[in-house]
């Protein structure tokens, strides 16, 4: 049986994962090195990559801070009732169940130019939808559960004893956090960050709806890939996809590394 | 005293900020969609949902997501099993590769499928000569869903297989049970909760998928237009109320699935 299952597994991986990955790498070189450079050096490509980079940084920072804090509260806080904690806990997962397109639609419905809030912000000279803030909110929504879900089990596992001991001995809460809690959740947080970066970089549906995909303005790398494919500019799409795929593979390696470190603790 | 009071106010403000952020970012938008879809009352909602193109797209999505999930259960259980039970060359690399669909942008996944199976590619032309088409037809949508949901079943089954007590299996062999019988009666019941929750997550994800599908589906209304692409189209054509109506059908379905997964997992935790 073993002789059958292992080759079969190899076939599944080759067909489903490895062949597509190789295709991206070869496809980008269809016109040689020059074609690749030309596609990436287009102003809209550079701008799109810059937008993706910016959103990824901002969202990862915000999501990490709030995610870790919320995980701490959901596990440790005694000012939240048990029922309340359970309720909040199940709400955390909701973005996983929401299609990215619907996530984008939600933000357009709440903050779009025709809504009360949207009109208010627009009067104040602050555009939300079809601009950067909306794209950041959309990405925050989509990536929200990743950090909380990575940190919560670690906190549950280590228990509150050490922290309680530290605060009984008179340590301030910040001090307790940095010297007692942080060392044990560190690798969980790093794993969460890698997942968040991957998701930010790859987010497509929500950003497409919220951004309006305006070239050189609100276009991100993934929405530019989409537009290039729609315009039958396959080599350009491929070149950008190659950059994204290369970063993804790098992130995958980081994930493996963080996972291993996480298990050591 | 003064210091204590100040720190209490501080932490009160901090707590409120975190919980408020949570509610404004997650809860409010979801309520907003439900409110919007009924904002014009019941008849427009019903009209939006019973529009033939709308319900056809929802049904198509459910059907194709089911197909993708079934394939995923079979392939995922096998891969999970092989990666845990056998030691062979390349096992660790394959095990890391499982997560690739999580790390890769879905639009890139869609483009890969388009390039590999599309018109002009070797596979696409071979299929066409045999008389069936992949890209811009249903098979491509299923493949896209399959690619995106590939890790779920594997990652749900693996920990159960790892935890499993090998002695039960050995006892079955010693008592003369065949390999097939041991699998069906001993191993399968142990990993079933993992298969079920993995399958449900995969199904929910397949229902929601947009990026990979929109590039390969061709998006012909009533034929290869899935629900999330339909919603996108409604938003683009400035019909947010119609988009919201179809959205809440999809959302409610996903929430039910997520809730059942939570129930299954908490039962397992208690057992």
Quickly tell me which residue has 């995922």 as its tokens.
B76
Q: Is the Cβ pair B25, A222 closer than 8 Å?
A: no
Q: Choose between A175 and B73: higher pLDDT.
A: B73
Please tell me the predicted confidence (pLDDT) of residue A264.
61
Contacts of B101 in chain A (CB under 8 A): 17
Please tell me the predicted confidence (pLDDT) of residue B1.
39
Token pair recorded at residue A170: 């008179």
A101 in reach of chain B (CB within 8 A): yes
Please tell me the predicted confidence (pLDDT) of residue B269.
62
Q: Where are the domains of chain B?
A: 1-37, 51-270
Please tell me the predicted confidence (pLDDT) of residue A59.
96
Query: pLDDT-based confidence at A1, cuts 50/70/90?
Result: low
DSSP class of residue A93? T
Q: Is the Cβ pair A225, B207 closer than 8 Å?
A: no
A202 in reach of chain B (CB within 8 A): yes
A113 Cα to chain B: minimum distance (Å): 12
Q: Where are the domains of chain A?
A: 31-264
Least confident segment among A120-124, A209-213, A224-228: A120-124
Q: Distance of CA B204 to CAs A44, A90, B29, B34, B66, Å? A: 34, 16, 19, 19, 10
Query: pLDDT-based confidence at B47, cuts 50/70/90?
Result: confident
Q: Is the Cβ pair B30, A98 closer than 8 Å?
A: yes
Contact indicator for A69, B18 with CB cutoff of 8 Å? yes
Alpha carbon B156 to its chain centroid, in Å, reads 13
Token pair recorded at residue B169: 């299996």
A74 in reach of chain B (CB within 8 A): no
Contacts of A65 in chain B (CB under 8 A): none
Residue B115's closest chain A neighbor by CA? A23
Residue B6 has pLDDT above 80, yes or no: no
pLDDT above 90 as % of chain A: 34
Please tell me the predicted confidence (pLDDT) of residue B124.
80
A229 in reach of chain B (CB within 8 A): yes
Least confident segment among A42-56, A68-82, A227-241, B5-19: B5-19
What are the pLDDT digits (tens) for A156-167? 888 777 777 777
Please tell me the predicted confidence (pLDDT) of residue A265.
52
What are the pLDDT digits (tens) for B81-101? 999 888 888 888 898 899 899
Quickly tell me which residue has 């660790």 as its tokens.
B92
**What interface predicted TM-score (ipTM) does this complex get?**
0.86
Inter-chain CB pairs, A–B, below 8 Å: 228
Among the partner-chain residues A108, A109, A141, the one whose CB lies closest to the CB of B25 is: A141
CA end-to-end span of chain A: 37
- Fold entry, domain B51-270: MetI-like fold (1.10.3720)
Distance CA B123, CA B125 (A): 6
Distance CA B40, CA B24 (A): 24
Contacts of A108 in chain B (CB under 8 A): 235, 240
A27 in reach of chain B (CB within 8 A): yes
Contacts of B15 in chain A (CB under 8 A): 73, 77, 79
pTM value is 0.88
SS3 for B126-143 is HHHHCCCCCCCCHHHHHH
Least confident segment among A2-11, A51-60, A225-234, B61-70: A2-11
A233 Cα to chain B: minimum distance (Å): 12
What are the pLDDT digits (tens) for B118-145? 877 778 888 888 877 888 888 999 999 9
| DSSP-assigned states of every residue in A60-91 | HHHHHHHHHHHHHHHHH-SSS-HHHHHHHHHH
B38 Cα to chain A: minimum distance (Å): 13
Among the partner-chain residues B94, B104, B106, the one whose CB lies closest to the CB of A9 is: B94
Q: What angle do CA B175, B193, B167 make, to 5 degrees?
A: 25
Q: Is the Cβ pair A209, B235 closer than 8 Å?
A: yes
Please tell me the predicted confidence (pLDDT) of residue A53.
95
A11 Cα to chain B: minimum distance (Å): 11
Please state which architecture CATH assigns to domain A31-264: Orthogonal Bundle (1.10)
Q: Choose between B199 and A117: higher pLDDT.
A: B199
Contact indicator for B201, B157 with CB cutoff of 8 Å? no
Q: Is the Cβ pair A5, B75 closer than 8 Å?
A: no
Among the partner-chain residues A16, A96, A225, the one whose CB lies closest to the CB of B111 is: A225
Residue B187 has pLDDT above 50, yes or no: yes
Least confident segment among A188-192, A233-237, B120-124, B159-163: B120-124
Q: Is the Cβ pair B240, A16 closer than 8 Å?
A: no
The mean per-residue pLDDT over the stretch A197-202 comes to 93
Q: Is the Cβ pair A23, B208 closer than 8 Å?
A: no
Phi, psi (rounded to 5 degrees) for B110:
-60, -45
């Amino acid at each position: 049986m073993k002789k059958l299952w292992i080759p079969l597994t190899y076939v599944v991986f080759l067909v489903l994962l490895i062949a597509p990955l190789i295709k991206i790498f070869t496809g980008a070189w269809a016109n040689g090195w020059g074609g690749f450079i030309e596609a990436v050096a287009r102003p809209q490509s550079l701008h799109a990559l810059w937008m993706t980079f910016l959103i990824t940084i901002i969202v990862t920072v915000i999501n990490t801070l709030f995610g870790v804090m919320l995980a701490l509260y959901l596990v440790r806080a005694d000012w939240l009732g048990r029922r309340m904690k359970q309720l909040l806990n199940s709400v955390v997962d909701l973005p996983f169940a929401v299609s990215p397109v619907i996530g984008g639609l939600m933000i357009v419905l709440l903050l779009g130019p025709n809504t009360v809030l949207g009109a208010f912000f627009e009067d104040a000279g602050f555009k939300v939808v079809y601009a950067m803030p909306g794209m950041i909110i959309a990405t925050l929504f989509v990536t929200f559960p990743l950090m909380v879900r990575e940190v919560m089990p670690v906190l549950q596992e280590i228990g509150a004893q050490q922290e309680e001991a530290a605060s009984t001995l008179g340590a301030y809460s910040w001090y307790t956090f940095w010297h007692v809690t942080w060392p044990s959740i560190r690798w969980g947080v790093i794993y969460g960050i890698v997942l968040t970066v991957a998701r930010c970089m790859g987010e497509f549906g929500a950003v497409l709806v919220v951004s309006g995909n305006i070239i050189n303005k609100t276009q991100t790398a993934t929405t530019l890939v989409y537009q290039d494919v729609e315009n039958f500019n396959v080599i350009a799409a491929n070149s950008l996809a190659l950059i994204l795929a290369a970063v993804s593979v790098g992130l995958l390696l980081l994930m493996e590394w963080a996972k291993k470190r996480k298990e050591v603790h | 005293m003064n210091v204590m009071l100040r720190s209490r106010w501080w932490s009160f403000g901090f707590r409120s900020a975190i919980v408020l952020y949570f509610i404004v970012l997650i809860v409010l938008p979801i309520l907003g969609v439900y409110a919007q879809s009924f904002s014009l009352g019941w008849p427009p909602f019903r009209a939006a949902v019973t529009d033939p193109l709308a319900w056809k797209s929802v049904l198509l999505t459910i059907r194709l997501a089911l197909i993708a999930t079934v394939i995923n259960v079979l392939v995922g259980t096998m891969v999970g099993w092989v990666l845990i039970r056998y030691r062979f060359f390349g096992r660790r690399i394959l095990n890391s590769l499982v997560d690739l669909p999580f790390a890769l942008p879905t639009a890139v996944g869609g483009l890969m499928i388009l390039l590999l199976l599309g018109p002009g590619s070797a596979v696409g032309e071979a299929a066409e000569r045999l008389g069936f088409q992949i890209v811009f037809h249903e098979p491509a949508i299923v493949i896209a869903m399959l690619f995106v949901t590939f890790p779920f079943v594997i990652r749900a089954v693996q920990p159960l297989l790892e935890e499993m007590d090998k002695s039960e299996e050995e006892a079955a062999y010693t008592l003369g049970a065949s390999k097939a019988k041991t699998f069906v009666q001993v191993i399968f019941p142990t990993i079933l909760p993992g298969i079920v929750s993995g399958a449900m997550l995969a199904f929910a994800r397949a229902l929601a998928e947009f990026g990979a599908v929109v590039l390969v589906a061709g998006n012909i209304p009533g034929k290869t237009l899935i629900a999330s692409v339909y919603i996108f189209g409604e938003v683009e054509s400035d019909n947010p109320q119609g988009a919201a109506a179809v959205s809440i059908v999809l959302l409610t379905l996903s929430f039910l699935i997520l809730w059942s997964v939570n129930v299954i997992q908490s039962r397992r935790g208690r057992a």
